[in-house]
A and B are shown apart, each in its own frame.
Chain A
Amino acid sequence: MKATETAVLAEGLQKRYGEKRVLDGFDLAVPYGTVYGLLGPNGAGKTTAVRILTTLVRLDGGSARVGGFDVATEAGKVRRKIGLAGQYAAVDEILTGRQNLEMFGRLFHLGAKRARQRAQELLEQFELTEAADKGAKTYSGGMRRRLDLASSMILAPDVLFMDEPTTGLDPRSRGEVWESVRGLVAQGTTVLLTTQYLDEADKLADRIAVIEHGRTIADDTPAALKNRIGGDRIEVVVADAAQIPDAVKAVDRVAGVEPDIDLEALKVQAPVTDRVAALTEVARTLQDDGVVVEDIALRRPTLDDVFLRLTGRKAEDEEEVAA
């Protein structure tokens, strides 16, 4: 059954809040055993999609099945198949980590004894044993997210939804959360995670769906997507607008593709393959041509680059709808 069915299947999801169409024909198919990244700017509809798939919000049109059950008509059954780790680590801050997990275990109907055991298992799995009996409000950001993750894993759900799991975390805590997610995936959990960070989707996901204005605009493997964006980029900022054509020529010659030009920022950028060679080459060419350079740098592609490539526009944060 599992092998043939899709873990998450959304077809033509529609959701309006007043006049605003938050989801407008959103499609998604997540096979079992994969990690799927839902990538998009603020307000693109990521959170609303997750809230519909986790039965928190009712859809206006289209249909969705999670774990083989319809989210609209079989919400109770869907809830037994899923875990949800939210944007705002949804744990009780007054209770200890252990008390949180025991409470959620009881509410998942494990019974008091099994709930206690499960809490202990999860505390060990997520490396929270030392802080197990301290109040959750004393936890660091990363520990809190791990407790949140553990709370989502009480029943070892088929599908785990993670809504921006690392937003607002420092790099070290991000790493901790990524580690935990990889651990879960190794155990066979299917993960749908939303993120605004391309590198996060790239590091964790087998496949990435890019969402804009409530619609999927691309759906591919990270490698294929990066090929379309063009991997690492070289960026040259010139001091004088008159020298932009020279800079374009130099970058074009080295990168071998037509660079993107940002006239306002006096910036010329293009994807490159051999990072270091490209940097030295471009720097030398610019110097030979007498171009006065304000800044020259290599950087990894960002969400902006994805959108620039896919839509010809920059990713724009839309007004977040209070959901």
Chain B
Amino acid sequence: MSGAVYWAVSDTWTVVRRGLLHYRRQPSNIAWQLGFPVVSVLLFVYVFGSGMAMEDYKSYAMPGMFAMTMAFGFMNTAMLVTLDKDKGITDRFRSMPMSPMAVVGGRGVSDLIGAALDLAVMAAIALAIGWRSSGGFAATIAAFGLLLLLRFALIWVGVVLGLMVPNQEAAGNLFAVAFPFGMVSSVFTPPSEMPTWLGAIAQWNPVSSTANAVRDLFGNPVPQDGPWIQENAMMMAVVWPIVITVVFLPLAVRKYQRLSA
């Protein structure tokens, strides 16, 4: 059994290494990947932010934008999974005596590394335009931990969707799902200022819980006087990702093993 664990870890590392080699062989892809968060920050803070009534909108929106980038991350996962499936790489992996956990696990670790890179660049931009965390070192680290936790949970959603969609074009169309998922939340506006029904959806969106929890940890403005779900954002920022992982991780592994069965 310990042999199986050893190979699961070793194979996962081999697959992660493949992801890192991709970065090294295509450095321009890093620029594209990081371009999105950079552009979003500048766009939302300066273009939309100037129309917002809220004072210190930057401090409100920045943690939200961190959370949104993590939320959109499942798109990357889904597209890479679909690409491998289309190209036959997934079939080759499945026909080999490697650990069946490793393909899914390797994808997860590679994507987390990419997400950490995204966050680092976003934080640097945020600092450069005047955003600050006043929450202290431990709280700041905890906040970034919560952001990566959300990304981690959504990896498995991305794997499941990536294996479900028929081709790469369809994977691209997942943006129609990602966009409202990221936006109908407390990311840019407090849900209390939305129409009641939309506000309720936004409150219960896991992205809102993470956004509000990290606002709190960063010492940035947090939406006030909300329902239970908003008041317990810190707890829910942990509970949501766990629930999502518990549902989607086994589904992802199962879907991978039964692919086209």
**Does A55 belong to the interface (CB within 8 Å)?**
yes
- Which of A56, A58, A76 lies in contact with B91, CB distance below 8 A? A56
Q: A89-B88, A90-B88 are in contact. Are A57 and B96 (CB under 8 A)?
A: no
**Does A151 belong to the interface (CB within 8 Å)?**
yes
Tell me the nearest residue of chain B to A99, going by C-beta.
Answer: B21
Q: Is the CB of A84 within 8 A of B92?
A: yes
Bound-state Cα–Cα, A109 to B3, Å? 11
What is the CB-to-nearest-CB distance from A318 to chain B, in angstroms, rounded to a whole number?
A: 18
Q: Which residues of A contact B259 (CB under 8 A)?
A: 56
A interface, over-half SS = loop
A-B pair count, CB < 8 Å, reads 75
Interface residues of B in 91-150 (CB under 8 A from A): 91-98, 102
Chain B interface size band reads 20 to 34
B interface, over-half SS = helix
Q: Is the CB of B21 within 8 A of A88?
A: no
Q: A94-B26, A107-B11, A135-B25 are in contact. Are A57 and B260 (CB under 8 A)?
A: yes
Q: Is the CB of A86 within 8 A of B97?
A: no
Q: A84-B91, A86-B88 are in contact. Are A92 and B18 (CB under 8 A)?
A: yes
Interface residues of B in 148-206 (CB under 8 A from A): 166
Q: Is the CB of A51 within 8 A of B87?
A: no
Q: Is the CB of B97 within 8 A of A80?
A: yes
Q: Which residues of A contact B50 (CB under 8 A)?
A: none
What is the CB-to-nearest-CB distance from A222 to chain B, in angstroms, rounded to a whole number?
A: 28
Bound-state Cα–Cα, A21 to B3, Å? 40
- Which of A58, A79, A94 lies in contact with B95, CB distance below 8 A? A79
Q: A95-B22, A109-B7 are in contact. Are A56 and B95 (CB under 8 A)?
A: yes
Pull 24 A–B residue pairs with CB atoms less than 8 Å apart, ordered by A: A55-B94, A55-B95, A56-B95, A56-B259, A56-B260, A58-B261, A76-B97, A82-B95, A84-B95, A87-B88, A88-B87, A92-B89, A94-B21, A95-B18, A95-B21, A96-B25, A103-B17, A104-B92, A106-B11, A107-B11, A107-B14, A107-B15, A107-B102, A109-B97
Chain A contact residues, CB within 8 Å of chain B: 51, 54-58, 76, 79-80, 82, 84, 86-96, 99, 103-104, 106-109, 135, 151, 322-323
